[in-house]
Structure 1
């Protein structure tokens, strides 16, 4: 009986990406096949060992280190092989206004309902494990919660990889997962809800910016006027801001705190740890403050990726997506190995978007 190993194991032996292993099979240099009714491949161990002893392998060594032309499908399959999971990509260009929104949940459900599992789930779940690759500056927290809930409905295990950053609502999305993977450059961010601007309905701003405005304006008035502060502040705000919106901003901040505590409940943190985490995720003055792996490793919230094959596959994937999105003016992609739901903008809108986002 022939002895087979996974593409992941073969890639670890050669220290190359899974994409290159599949290329060796297509080129007839090693033996392997795709498992019936699955997207997984198996490699014959004997043929791999024989290949390592040939002159062809020695000739191929140089090409292993050269940049490889690779498609989005192949980049996603690399991640699926090394993490042994079905992969969903959720990549955004935050500079051009790509954010987590309610409609994303519908696109996700469409993808998962038509997607064939690599490994079938148990207990009426379609997938054994879904790995979400997310790169996002944030968005609407409620939309992030719904996005995570849909994945949990389909899969026994829900894991997340952050190649570069997952801020604010995207941080909540990460904390909803059963496991979070980070690299040396990955960063999370303070959970600061994005809300409608009080002066520009087309612009979304961090809820904390409204509170900071009130605090700053209040301090200035307190030093220059004898009129009660509340009276002055309300008079000023009634001119520029709908007072009902002020209540909504405060509610959004309270909701973010409640959701953070709910996400962290599975880690069984003590009161002191919970206090420090709340200071880290809720009480930072900057919306873009970077929360790195080193900041949270003591709480057991995340796992750092150290395997070179995994790191290499992640770098390839994010590079392929960035190049494609920049060339096509795409601000958001929700996809899998076979299809992608793209959100693009017209070239003439790019300048306006950059002005609105302050870039």
Structure 2
């Protein structure tokens, strides 16, 4: 699919949705590097009644989604997120700051488990929950061992390699993700259902053990999120756009 075809699909999506559509499609972690280009694009568009973000991302930094939502909302009255395939982890946080999320039969959200850069391997991103589960695993191993002293002897060399300041930073990231989720839900997605905010926040930040757990549109709706189910022409346009951007990124990787 060439640029002209993608533009035609984008134009049709805007007609169907009655919105201005922005696209974020990436396989690299979502971080603050998106903010300046996004601001430039929003300034070029100007204030508009409704903005949709066509979002495909597997997550990223803990603070970026909140900044992204606040920036977009400076330029519109109504904000929607369109998920063609995956808006996982930190990208799911962006969804919580929308008024609605548009999902098709293969669309997925995920537990909010932001990524942090590995302290040694700088190109490696680690789910912050992984650190907590590691410590909890060691604690259970020692407590359940028939010889706790031997278990402690074996585990201590590993624990000694963990920087306590780093562990504290990871713990702060977990608390921050909870705080951001609660703030976005209460201000936007669930502003009319304040009694649901706490339960939905807990479910998304602590209720799933797999970083990649797929939350489809039915489960998302059961959680209490405002889901618009994409079917018919709307879904055909969304899926065609997804395939077009996937093809574009694959071509760039081969160059």
CA contact (8 A) 1:189 1:281 kept: no
User: Distance in 2 between the 1:167 and 1:296 partners?
Assistant: 12
Is residue 200–residue 223 contact of structure 2 (8 Å, CA) maintained in 1? no
TM-score by length of 2: 0.87
Contact 2:48 / 2:76 at 8 angstroms: preserved in 1?
yes
Query: Is the counterpart of residue 194 in structure 1 residue 124 in structure 2?
Result: no
Give, in angstroms, the shift of residue 290 of structure 1.
0.8
Aligned to 2:213: 289
> What is the CA distance between 1:181 and its match in structure 2?
1.3
Distance 1:103 1:142 in 2: 12
TM-fit CA distance, 1:185? 1.3
The match for 1:207 is: 128
In 2, Cα distance between the equivalents of 1:164 and 1:87? Answer: 17
How far is the alpha carbon of 1:312 from its aligned partner? 1.1
1:237 to 2:159 alignment:
yes
Unmatched 5+ stretches in structure 1: 1-66, 118-125, 330-345, 348-359
Alignment of 1:158-177 (within 5 A): 158-177=79-98
SS in 2 for 1:241: coil
How far did residue 230 of structure 1 move? 8.6
Distance 1:174 1:242 in 2: 33
1:319 equivalenced with 2:252 (yes/no): no
**How far apart, in 2, do the equivalents of 1:269 and 1:185 lie?**
29
Are the equivalent residues in 1 in contact too, given 2:81–2:98 (CA < 8 A)? yes
TM-score, normalised by the number of residues in structure 1: 0.63
Of 5, 9, 27, 1:75 maps to 9
Comparing 214-223 and 247-256, the one that deviates more: 214-223
What corresponds to 2:193 in structure 1? 268
Partner of 2:167: 246
Change in Cα spacing, 1:258 to 1:237, as seen in structure 2 (3 Å) is same
**Matched residue, 1:107:** 37
CA shift at 1:231, angstroms?
9.6
Which shifted more, 293-302 or 164-173? 293-302
- Partners in 2 of 1:157 and 1:229 — Cα distance? 56
- The alpha-carbon deviation at position 259 of structure 1 amounts to 1.6
Say if 1:145 and 1:230 are closer, same or farther in 2 by CA, change over 3 A: farther
Matched residue, 1:153 = 74
User: Does the 8 A contact of 1:218 with 1:233 survive in 2?
Assistant: no
Distance 1:280 1:114 in 2: 35
Q: Does 1:84 align with 2:18?
A: yes
Contact kept, 8 Å, 1:144 with 1:172, in 2: the verdict is: yes
CA separation of 1:241 and 1:200: change in aligned 2, threshold 3 A: farther
Q: Which runs of 5+ in 2 are unaligned?
A: none
Deviation at 1:229, TM superposition (A): 8.5
Residue 304 of structure 1: CA displacement? 3.1
